[in-house]
Amino acid sequence: MTTDQINVVLADDHTVVRNGIKLLLETEGEIKVIGEANDGLEALEAVKQLQPDVLVIDIRMPNMNGLEATRKLKDYSEKTRALILSMHNDDEYILQSVEVGASGYLLKDTSKDEFLKAIRSIHKGGKYFSGDISNVLINSYLTVKNPGEPVQKDSEYDYDLTKREKEILRLIYSGVNNKEIADQLKKSIRTIETHRFNIMKKLNVSSVVELLKKVEEEKGLQKIVGK
């Protein structure tokens, strides 16, 4: 093993897809697939045991999806970085991948050269999002307050939250979990998770604990939740 070798774990619930990716990656001498997984749970276990440099992971998988596995990745390995490889060119998936800490996002129809470039860039500590996906991220953050910029504390300011986001914020504040919110609003859990990510992004917080603390500190949010 050379110091330049990039060790990769692949996570996708389709064996044929994994085999194809493995064949593509291992045409390059410095990239080696050292583990494979069928779902997010298996991916995290493989990461824990093998400590790869890069986890290439699909989003939609059984038992635990790729976004949730990526969110938990640092609990299993400080060194491993996640590259989402998905067939979904969907704004919400792309934005959620950033929220949970992915270092890159590529579509499955990407070229071999771009795929390899992404792996190498992420291995070196960088981030890699293909052109169309970068545009989604840029457009999103142009319409949302920049990270680190303090949110106005005027009680009349609505924090750019939609009517649905305000409704979900009230439920979160009252202690209702995602499944209960989904049942109550007759929406999928995935939809509720998307709204929650958007709420946290707009309020510049990274956890529910921070979100609840912010509500306690700001009159504008207290007005929204009806406190």
CA-wise closest residue to 227 among 212, 210, 208 = 212
- Lowest-confidence region among 99-103, 155-159, 209-213: 155-159
With 50 as the cut, is the pLDDT of residue 198 above it?
yes
Task: Write down the pLDDT at residue 36.
Answer: 98
Q: What is 6-140's CATH number, 3.30.200.20, 3.40.50.2300, 3.40.50.300, 3.40.640.10?
A: 3.40.50.2300
Annotated domain spans of the chain: 6-140, 163-225
The model's pTM: 0.62
With 70 as the cut, is the pLDDT of residue 147 above it?
no
CA distances from 47 to 157, 202, 213 (A): 44, 32, 33
Average pLDDT over residues 192-220: 87
Average pLDDT over residues 127-150: 57
Task: Write down the pLDDT at residue 135.
Answer: 56
Per-residue pLDDT band for 156 (boundaries 50, 70, 90) equals: very low
Q: What is 163-225's CATH number, 2.170.130.10, 3.30.70.100, 1.10.10.10, 3.40.140.10?
A: 1.10.10.10
Per-residue pLDDT band for 133 (boundaries 50, 70, 90) equals: low
* DSSP output for 133-172: HHHHHHHHHHSSPPTTSPPP--TT--TT--HHHHHHHHHH
Residue corresponding to tokens 């050292």: 34
